Chain A
Amino acid sequence: MTPQRISTNSTVLLEVAGLVAAYGSHIVLKDIHCHFLENTITAIVGPSGCGKSTFVKTLNRTLELIPGAEVLSGEVYLRGVGIYSGKTDAMAIRKRIGIIHQSPLPFPMSIVENVLFGARFHRHLDGMSPREYAEVYLEKVGLLDEVKDRLDDSAYKLSGGEQQRLCLARTLANQPEIILMDEPCSAIDPAATRRIEELCLELQEEYTIVIVTHNMAQARRISEHTILMFGGHIIEAGTTEQIFSRPKTELARDFVDGVIG
C-alpha cells in the first residue's frame, strides 16, 4: 500500500531570508530565500557540492557545530521567530527542529537508551515509564515489532536500515515539529530506503519534513514541494509536479532530464 499524499496546508512554518553561510572563507550558501509549509514534505535536490546539506543544517543551527562553519548573514524564521536572533537558544531550536544525518549513528548504548537520549534531557518522560515512552516512538518508526524482545541490546546489533529508523525514533522522541533529513537513504539498501520513504509519507500528518536527496526519483515519489539548488543558489522552487514537468529555467530542465547532476 502506498500512503496517499496529503493536500497542501498553506501555513508557512519556516521561512529563510537572505541566508549566507561559509566554511572559513569559502562561501557555500549565497543569499538563500525560500519557505517551507506545515505538514508538507519538501525535497531539496541538486548536484553534489551545491550546498544542500549545508543549507539543511542551517535550518536548525547544527551547521555551527562543525568547526569553521558559520552563518554570516540572513535569518531563518520558525513561526515568525528568528532562530539566529540571539534571543533564542540553539538547544531549544534543535529540539523543535530535529535532524537525521546521512549515515545512521546510534550511540554506544542500548536500543531503548538511544531512543531516550534527547527525551531524557528535555524532560519529556514525566510520569511515563522510560520503556513505554521509548516503545511509542519505536512503534512510530515501525521498529517495535522487530526489536521488542531485545530493547536492552546494543543498538549496533541492528542492521543499517534499522539503525536509521532508530535514529529517526530518537529524533521523534524529542517531540519536534520539523524533521530535517540529510540524504537519509544514501547509506542503506533499497528495501530499507522504501521503508523510510513510506515512513516520511506517514509522518507528514504530524510533522513538517525537509528531505535532502540527490535521488530525483525519490524527490518525485515523496515530496510535494521541491527546491532545486545549484552552486549555493536556489535556482528553482515550487511544487514537485511543476518542477519535474514544467521547469522554468534551462538549468532546472537539464537537471530534471539528467543532463547534469
Chain B
Amino acid sequence: MKAEPLHYLTNKHGEVRIDRFVTVAAWSFGALGLCLPLSIVGFLFARGVEVISWEFLTTAPGGLPLGVAGGIMPAIQGSLELVGLGLLFALPLGIGGAIYLSEYCTSQALLKVTRFVTECLAGIPAIVYGLFGYSFLVVAINLKASLLAGSITLGFVMFPLVLIGSHESMRSVNWVYRESALALGVSRSYMVRRVVLKQTWPSIMAITLLAAGHAVGSASPVLYTASIIYSRGGLDLNAPVMTLPTHLYYLVSEAISFEHAYGTALVLTMGLLLLNFTGRYLRRLSGKYGV
C-alpha cells in the first residue's frame, strides 16, 4: 500500500495557527491573572509574617514615634466595630429595599429608577462617601469624628452593594414558586420568608460579607469620620477609633515602620480572604436542597 504524504494528517493553514496563538495567549494571560494576586499576597506574607505574633495582634501600638512597637489590636477592634455597626444600618435598608423591589413593587418605573440610582451609588468612589459623612454626619449634625459617624458612613458604602446583590438573588428565584405558595392561601410575607428568603439567604449573607470586606478595607470613608491615630480600644459610640486601613496609611505616609505596615496589611488581607472564602462557602449552601 502506498503511504500518503504526511500533510494528509496535519493541518497547517491560517486558522490553525491563529487557534494555537489564541490558546497560548489565553493560558499566558490566565497564568498572569493568577500570578498577580498570588504574588501580592505572597509578597505581603514574606514581608509581614515576621511581625505577626500574639503580641502584635493583642496589644496597642507603642514606642516613639507611635507605631514602631506594640501591636494593632485597637485597629482590628475598631475596624470590626465600624463594619459591624455599619451592617446594622446597611442590612435592614439593603435587604428591606430588595424585598420591596422584588416582591412588593408593582411599578416598573419605580423599580427601574431605584435600581439605576442604587447602581450609581455603588459606583461612587469611597472618598465621596467620606466627604458626605464628614460634612453631613460629623459637621452638620455634629456627631464628631466617632464610631457612630464612621459606621453610618460605612453603612452607606455597603447599602447599595447589599441591595443590588440581594435583589439579584431574589429575582433569580423562579416566579412559579411564589405562585405555588400563594395558591395555598398564605400571605405574601409568609411566602417571602419561607420560600424566597429560605432559598436566597446564603447568597444574601455571602453578598453581605463581600460588601463588609469592601468596607473594612476602605480607608477613605472613615479617614475623616471615625479614625484616630491612637486609641486603646473599647466600645464607645461617641469616641473615634483606630482602623486597619487608616493605621496602615499612617504608618506608611509618616514613614514610621514599614515592617509594622506590612504586618498590618497582611492581617487586613488575611481577614478579607477569610471573609471571601466564607462568602463562597455560604453561596454553595444555597444549593442544599437541590434547587
Contact = CB atoms under 8 A, between A and B. Distances in A.
A107 B182 contact: no
B194 interface: yes
Given A65-B179, A66-B179, A118 B186 contact: yes
Interface string A101-125: 1010101110000000110011000
Contacts of A94: 182-185
A62 B179 contact: yes
Interface string A164-200: 0001001100100000000000000000000000000
A99 interface: yes
Nearest to A171: B184
Given A91-B187, A101-B179, A103-B176, 5 more contacts: A95-B185, A105-B176, A105-B180, A122-B186, A154-B288
Given A117-B194, A121-B190, A108 B291 contact: yes
Contacts of B185: 90-96, 118, 121-122, 174
B127 to A, nearest CB: 42
B188 to A, nearest CB: 9
A148 to B, nearest CB: 20
A121 B187 contact: yes
A183 B186 CA distance: 23
A161 interface: no
Given A62-B179, A121-B190, A156-B290, A109 B198 contact: yes
Contact of B289 (A105, A109, A118): A109
B195 interface: yes
A28 to B, nearest CB: 17
Interface residues of B, number: 21
B104 interface: no
A46 interface: no
A259 B288 CA distance: 49
B177 interface: yes
Contacts of B183: 60, 62, 65, 94, 98-99, 101
Interface of A: 60, 62, 65-66, 90-96, 98-99, 101, 103, 105, 107-109, 117-118, 121-122, 154-157, 167, 170-171, 174
A107 B186 contact: no
Nearest to A64: B182
Most chain A beta-carbon neighbours within 10 Å: one of B185, B187, B190, B195: B185
A66 B185 CA distance: 15
Nearest to A118: B184
Interface string B259-281: 00000000000000000000000
A90 B181 CA distance: 13
20 contacts: A60-B183, A62-B179, A92-B185, A93-B185, A94-B183, A95-B184, A101-B176, A103-B176, A107-B180, A107-B195, A108-B291, A109-B289, A118-B186, A121-B184, A121-B190, A154-B289, A156-B289, A156-B291, A157-B290, A167-B180
Q: Which of B178, B186, B199 has the most CB of A within 10 A?
A: B186
Nearest to B286: A108
Nearest to A121: B186
Nearest to A119: B184
Contacts of B190: 121
Nearest to A102: B176
